[in-house]
Amino acid sequence: MAELRPKDVQVAEVGANTLVLRSRTFDRLKFEVEYARQKGTTANAYLIQADQIALIDPPGASFSGLFIEELAHHVYLQRINYVILSHVNPNRLSTLKDLLNPEVAAQITFVCTRAAEVVLRESFPEQALRILVANAEDTIDLGQGHCLHFIPTPTPRHPDALCTYDPATRILYTDKLFGAHVCDDALYDEHWRSLTDDRRYYFDCIHAAQSKQVEAALDRLAEVTQSALILAPGHGPLVRYSASRLVFDYRYWCEQQDQQDFSVALLYASAYGNTATMAAAIARGLTQAGVTVASINCEFADPDEVTAAIAKTDGFIIGSPTLAGHPPSQIQTALGIVLSTAPKTQLAGVFGSFGWSGEAVDLLESKLQDAGYTLGFETLRVKFSPTEEVLQQCEAAGAEFAQILKKTRKTRTLRQPAVDARSDRTEQAVGRVTGSLCVLTAKQGSADIGVLTSWVSQATFNPPGLTIALAKDQAEALLPETGDGFVLNILKEGRNLRRHFQKPMQPGEDRFAAVAHHPASNGCLVLDEAIAFLECQVQNRMECGDHWLIYASVDNGKVLETVGVTAVQHRKSGTYY
């Protein structure tokens, strides 16, 4: 394995009187869901030096010392007038504390939204902070044409979000919008097509569960995005060559979320960010399973918003921290709305984090069960911060919730005979297409993952190659990129492997613990009870409706059992696997 480059701060001029300071980490070991593509990330800060000086979005604690040291090479720290905060989180507070040191830059004035001001004053109760609250259409004139315009863009995940536009350079500072977790030497997006998958994955992790609020933010930014030359996000390369396309993509991706057949309300509050992190992982599991998520941070939502969400969705999941042995008042209000308005046929879920006792999670679970709601996954309880394993469990819980939700509706839906008979005949005909039953195994970081599939066909003689059709969520999880390796295990008729891989995986379950296996030369697992296996490498991908078509070359293979026949999947309809 190649040695990772150490952390550093890349500095470059991006406009008149304007520098970007990109705190870069090439570390591939971050476990949060949004970093799963393992390409490192950057924390982008920006420095505008006109008659007055403004610093936008200093990085978090892991870069505090390195960043301030580099910053001091480019500006006299005691001359910084403003620190503009696009959002505030516990990680960034550590760097702000270092900046407020009397020997560093204690004279600074913070510019942020009202929600961020509350967090700052609670975090530094002993200090008389200078804070300017930025409302819509507010400006700060730094001189030399740098009259900064502020546009609040709140979302459930970042209720204090703030974008900033500088007409002098035509740079729009977008923080969590239009970013990607990619770390390399490229400052701009010259090769933007190669970033498409990373941008989409970032959107799915950060914004898919709050698509309505993102659409509202795009509406607020519409005028400045049309005139901006550069979109300057908080992570990844600056957007210079594909700005209009990326704005269009964001709108399209938001619309896709609104067109799903199932929807879930995800209600939560978060005292220290831990419950919010769990909510993001659960939302990821839901959206990847094709469910629209209406994410609501109850700390900043009106009760009418909660009521409307419950009325429109097919299920709800509620998460809470424990404060002094109880849920926060906003969660108690949300629970009351749920109990009084949500039909008992709606599927429910409960999760939360706590520091000592966790009574809030137990209360939510018991209240919902006593009221007759069915829980879509085993309640998730986390002490302090969620670990990598816990976040995987949260994502799996979201996927499990989606499966049960779809299955529940299917059993309640009466088949309408003689309606659309021609469509039924077509589906039955398509269902006569058969395929070999296989288990595709691959790597996701250090974890082994596998999926049952029969949509496999040989595609080429020379080189030997095959095609596999995978649902989009499976393709993203299993084979996100060209060059990825995998093993196709071809099953033998009469074995129980099929049944084993058909069962829904429980949160945290090791799918391969009860299955004999060994690693292939590409590191993916060979199932010892398969009749044969093929080691493959992805060469190309094509989006086909609701699936990705994967073309892969076969690098190696072996028949494990010469006696027996290949298991084949026979279907009655072309509308399911």
pLDDT tens track for 93-119: 999 999 998 888 889 999 999 999 999
Mean pLDDT of 204-213: 89
- How many CB atoms within 10 Å of residue 518? 8
CA 530 centroid distance within chain: 35
Cα–Cα distance for residue pair 197/180, rounded to 1 Å: 9
Q: Write the pLDDT tens digit of every residue in 318-367.
A: 999 998 888 999 999 999 999 999 998 899 999 999 887 778 999 999 99
Question: What local confidence, expressed as pLDDT, does residue 423 receive?
Answer: 54
Task: State residue 417's pLDDT score.
Answer: 41
- Say yes or no to pLDDT of 416 above 60: no
Q: Tokens 């977008």 identify what position?
A: 174
Give helix 90-99 / helix 64-71 axis angle, nearest 10°: 40
Q: Tell me, letter by letter, the H, E, C secondary structure of 351-367.
A: EEEECCCCHHHHHHHHH
Which of the four CATH numbers 3.90.79.10, 3.60.15.10, 3.30.420.40, 3.40.50.620 does domain 8-257 have?
3.60.15.10
Residue of 503 and 224 predicted with greater confidence? 224
Under the banding of pLDDT at 50, 70 and 90, the label for residue 289 is confident
Of the candidates 63, 32, 57, the one whose C-alpha atom is nearest the C-alpha of residue 44 is 57
CATH 3.40.50.360, domain 260-414, yes or no: yes
The whole-number pLDDT of residue 415 equals: 41
* Contact between 74 and 11 (Cβ < 8 Å): yes
- Burial environment of residue 88 by CB neighbours within 10 A (0 to 12, 13 to 18, 19 or more): buried
Please provide the average confidence, as pLDDT, over all residues in the chain: 89
- So where are the chain's domains? 8-257, 260-414, 432-569
471-476 long-range contacts, CB within 8 A, separation 24+: 471/546, 471/547, 471/548, 472/543, 472/546, 472/547, 472/548, 473/288, 473/289, 473/290, 475/541, 475/547, 475/548, 475/550, 476/201, 476/204, 476/288
Using the predicted structure, report yes or no on whether residue 315 has a pLDDT greater than 80.
Answer: yes
**CATH T-level assignment (fold) for domain 432-569:** Pnp Oxidase; Chain A (2.30.110)
**Confidence (pLDDT) at 420:** 46
Average pLDDT for residues 474-499, to the nearest whole number? 82
Q: Is the pLDDT of residue 211 over 70?
A: yes
Residue 22 is predicted with a pLDDT of: 97
CA nearest to 278, candidates 368, 365, 354, 353: 353
pLDDT tens readout for residues 82-94: 999 999 988 899 9
Among 77-91, 183-197, 538-552, which is the least confidently predicted range?
538-552
Tell me the per-residue pLDDT of 246-259, one tens digit each, with 9 for 90 and over: 999 999 999 888 77
253, exposed or middle or buried, with CB in 10 Å at 0-12, 13-18, 19+?
A: middle
Q: Which helix (H) or strand (E) holds 380?
A: strand 380-383
Residue 63: DSSP 8-state = G
The pLDDT-based confidence of 205 (bands split at 50, 70, 90) is confident
Could you give the percent of the chain with pLDDT greater than 70? 92
Q: Could you tell me which residues come within 8 angstroms of residue 498 by beta carbon, excluding any fewer than 6 positions away?
A: 437, 452, 491, 567
